[in-house]
Amino acid sequence: MRLTAWIGCAWWALGCVACGGSSSDGGPPGAGGGAATGTATTGTGGAAATSGVGDSAGGAGGANGAGGANGANGANGAGGANGAGGANGAGGANGAGGAPRELHVDTSSPELSEIRFKPSELDPEVSDRDLEQVALLDTRVARFAGKLVVTLSGSSQPPGPLDLTRFVAARGFHAFAVAYKNDYNIVQNDPDTFGDARLEAFDGQDHTALIEVARADSIEARLARALAHLKEVHPRGDWGYFLEDDGSPRWSVIIFSGHSHGASSAARIGKVVRLDRVVSLAGPRDTNPVSATWLSEPSATPVDRMFGLTGERDEQHPDHLKAFDLIGLPGELVEVDVPGAAPPYGGSHRLALKDGDHGATGNCGAHVAVCETMFGLPLP
C-alpha cells in the first residue's frame, strides 16, 4: 500500500475549514421524543420525535418518551408516542437515505492524498484482477460533496479511468478506482447474459456461466474492504462516512461512473442498488446484437439520477441511443459542444458530443461543463 500526499493550498481553497456533507437523498435523523415528567398521579408521556428533512421523509420510529416518575400512589407515566425520524427508522441513522452524521474531513494540512493498494493486500481470498486500486481525496477544495465516486474502467483496462477519478476528486468528491472483472467479451447473442455477467462482477454470486467471479473479487466486496482500509490508514479523510454500521457500502451517498464497458456496468449496478446517481460515459450499450433485458427492468436508482454521454462519431453511438431509450433517461438528445449549448441542457439526461468519438466522452477535462452537470455540480 502506498500513500502519497501533495501539500499546498490551491487557488480555489477558502481556508482549512472542515466541511460537512450529508446525503442528498435524506435529511438528518429527527430528534427523539422528549422525556416524560412525573406528577403525584400519572406522568406525562414523551413528545413525538420530529421528522428529518431532505428529499426522503424522516425515518419512522423515534425513541419512546421516558415514563413519568412514580408520585405518591401514582401510576407510572405513559411512554411517549413513536416519532417520525427516529434513530433507526427509515431515513434515520441506519435507514435508507438518512445521514447518520456530517462528514468530518481534517483540512488542517490541505493536500491531495493518493492511496494505492491491491485487493490481495486486504483479502487473502482474492484470485483475479489483482490490480492496483487508487483512492483520492483533495482537502484543498473549498467544499466537500459528501459523496464517493467509484469509477469503472473500460474492457480489460486497469482501474480508472484515472483522469476521471482525478477530475471528481478535484471537485470535492471522495474518489475510488476499483479493480473488477472486465476482461471478458460481453457481446453475446443472449439478452439475459449481458446483465447477468455484469451483476456477477458486482456481487460475486453465480448468475451466468460466461464468467466466474468469487465474492472476494466482486466490486461490492472490494469496495467495502477498501473503505474499511481507508478508514484505518487515512482517518483524516473520514472514509468511514461511506460505510453502514454493518460494514456494507452506504449506497445512498455513492455514485458509480464508468467509461465504455464501465459505463454499462455502472448503470447495471444502479438497477439493483439505490445509488446517489449514475454517470455513464460512452454508454450504456448492451444493445448489439440483441438488446439486454436489464436495460428495461425496474431500477433501484431513479432514472432521473442517471446520465448518459455519447459521441456522435463513436461507432457505438446508435447502440447508446437505443440504450438511452430502453432505460428511459429523461429528455431528448442534446448536443453539448455546439454554439449556444449550456448547462443544464434543458434538463436532459441524454447528452452528446457532436464532434466526439469513443474516447472523447471519457475526457472530462476537455468537457468540464457537461461533466460537472452530470455529477450534480455546482453543489447546492
pLDDT tens digit sequence for 234-278: 999 999 999 999 999 999 999 999 999 999 999 999 999 999 999
Cα–Cα dist 164/365, whole Å: 8
Cα–Cα dist 279/168, whole Å: 12
Model confidence, pTM: 0.76
Average pLDDT over residues 17-27: 39
Contact 166, 229 (CB under 8 A): no
DSSP code per residue over 168-221: HHTTT-EEEE------S----S-HHHHHHHHHHHHH-----SS----GGGSHHH
C-alpha cell at 71: 408520585
Domains of the chain, with CATH numbers? 27-101 (no CATH), 110-374 (3.40.50.1820)
| Lowest mean pLDDT across 15-24, 111-120, 238-247, 350-359 | 15-24
Cα–Cα dist 262/241, whole Å: 25
Contact 67, 76 (CB under 8 A): yes
Give 322-344 pLDDT, tens digit per residue.
999 999 999 999 999 999 999 99
Contact 90, 96 (CB under 8 A): yes
